[in-house]
Chain A
Amino acid sequence: MSAEESRPAQRQLVVWRGDEVPVAHDIPGPGDLRDDTKTGRLLIGSLVRAQLGLSLMCLMIALTVTISFPLIAALVPAVSRTRVAGLPVTLIVLGFAFYPVFLAVGWFYHRQARQLEARFTDLVNPAGRRPDD
Chain B
Amino acid sequence: MSDAAVGAIAFVTLLTIVVGARGIRVARTPDDFMVAARQVPPALNAAAISGEYLSAASFLGIAGLIVSQGLGSLWYSVGYTAGYLVLLLLVAAPLRRFGAYTIPDFADGRLGSKGLRQAATALVLVIGWFYLLPQMKGAGITLQWVLGTPYWIGVVTLGVVVSGNIAMGGMKGITFVQCFQYWLKLCAIGIPALVLLIATGHDSARNLQPGNAPVFTRATVVDVPQAVDFTLTRPTTATVSGMLDQRQYRHQAVPLCACRHVAGAGAQLGFAAGAPVPTSLAMAPSPGVSWDSPLSAAGTDGAHPLLSTYGIIIATFFGAVGLPHILVRFYTNPDGEAARRTTLIVVLLLSTFYLFPAVLAVLTRAHAPQLYLAGDSDNVLLALPSLLLPGLPGELLAALVAAGAFAAFLSTSSGLLVSVAGALSHDFMNRGVTSFRWCAIAAGAVVTAASLLIGRFSLALLVGWAFAIAASSFCPLLVLGIWWRQLTRAGAAAGIVVGGGACLAAIIASMTGAATHGWSAVLLGQPAIWTVPLAFSVMIVTSLLTQRTLPGNVGQVMLRMHLPEALSRQDYRSFPLERARRAPGR
A: which residues have CB within 8 A of B?
30, 33-34, 36, 40-41, 44, 47-48, 51-52, 55, 58-59, 62-63, 66-67, 69-71, 73-74, 80-81, 83, 86-88, 90-91, 93-96, 98-100, 102-103, 105-107, 109-110, 113-114, 117-118, 120-121, 124-125, 128
Contact A99 B351 (CB under 8 A): yes
A11 to B340 Cα, complex, angstroms = 53
Q: Which residues of A contact B293 (CB under 8 A)?
A: 73, 80, 90
Q: How far is the CA of A49 from the CA of B65 in the complex (A)?
A: 42
Contact A102 B347 (CB under 8 A): yes
Indicate which residue in A33, A83, A94, A102 contacts B571 across the interface (CB closer than 8 Å): A33
Q: Is the interface of B mostly helix, strand, loop or mixed?
A: helix
- A-contacting 9-mer, from B33-41, B53-61, B71-79, B462-470: B71-79
Residue of A nearest to B309 (CB): A70
Q: In the complex where A91-B71, A107-B344 touch, is A41 in contact with B564 (Cβ < 8 A)? A: no
Q: Which residue from chain B places its CB closest to the CB of A129 in the assembled complex? A: B566
Contact with A along B194-222 (1 / 0, CB 8 A): 00000000100100101100000000000
Q: Flag if A109 contacts B556 (CB, 8 Å).
A: no
- The smallest beta-carbon distance between B168 and chain A, in angstroms, is 37
Q: Which of A74, A87, A106 contacts B88 (CB 8 A)?
A: A106
Q: Which residue of A lies closest to B74 (CB)?
A: A94
B71: contacting residue among A83, A94, A113, CB under 8 A: A94
The complex places the Cα of A69 from the Cα of B310 at a distance, in Å, of: 11
Main SS of chain A's interface residues?
A: helix
A87, B208: Cβ atoms closer than 8 Å: yes
Q: Is the CB of B208 within 8 A of A86?
A: yes
Contact-size category for B: 35 or more
Q: Which of A30, A102, A109 contacts B570 (CB under 8 A)?
A: A30
Q: Given A69-B294, A106-B344, check contact A88 B208 (CB 8 Å).
A: yes
Task: Report how far A34 CA is from B555 CA in the complex, Å.
Answer: 10
- Would you call B313 an interface residue if the criterion is a C-beta within 8 Å of the partner chain's C-beta atoms? yes
Supposing A90-B71, A91-B74 touch, asked if A59 and B566 sit within 8 A by C-beta, the answer is no
In the complex with contacts A90-B294, A106-B85, A70-B306 CB distance below 8 A: yes
User: In whole angstroms, how far apart are the Cα atoms of A73 and B558 in the complex?
Assistant: 43
Q: How far is the CA of A81 from the CA of B294 in the complex (A)?
A: 10
Q: Is the CB of A81 within 8 A of B210?
A: yes
Bound CA span A47–B348, Å = 28
Contact B347 A103 (CB under 8 A): yes
- Within 8 Å of chain A (Cβ to Cβ): is B93? yes
B570 contacts which chain A residues (CB < 8 A)?
30, 125, 128
Which residues on the B side are within 8 Å of A105 (C-beta)? 85
A33 touches B344 (CB 8 A): no
Q: Does B519 contact A (CB under 8 A)?
A: no
Using Cβ atoms and an 8 Å threshold, which residues of chain A touch B208? 83, 86-88
